[in-house]
């Protein structure tokens, strides 16, 4: 395993990553959207939404922006809340 892969796997289970997952879950439920509805907006399977909400899957920057758009959430505000 390469060093970058080792570092990446360590960050997946950090407190900050967990907070991001919770923020995305709260944003979805606050808008009354189901995982299926968000998945349809993204053109992805429902399991994609489930996996990033539970922390099983990480989002890259472009995916994060797509998810924020699907949730009608300002990505900058989400990141500011994450960094608090």
CATH number, residue 50: 1.10.260.40
Average pLDDT, the chain: 89
CB atoms within 10 A of CB 51: 16
The total domain count for the chain is 1
Is the pLDDT confidence value at 1 over 80?
Answer: no
d(CA 31, CA 34): 9
Least confident of 9-18, 34-43, 45-54, 60-69: 9-18
Is the pLDDT confidence value at 44 over 60?
Answer: yes
d(CA 21, CA 41): 18
Its domain, for residue 41, covers 3-83
The more confident residue out of 6 and 65 is: 65
d(CA 36, CA 78): 21
């Amino acid at each position: 395993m390469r060093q970058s892969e080792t570092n990446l796997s360590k960050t997946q289970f950090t407190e900050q990553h967990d907070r991001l997952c919770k923020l995305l879950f709260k944003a979805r439920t606050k808008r009354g959207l189901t995982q299926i509805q968000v998945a349809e907006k993204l053109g992805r399977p429902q399991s994609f939404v489930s996996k990033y909400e539970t922390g099983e899957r990480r989002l890259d920057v472009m995916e994060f922006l797509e998810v924020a758009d699907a949730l009608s959430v300002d990505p900058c505000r989400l990141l500011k809340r994450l960094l608090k």
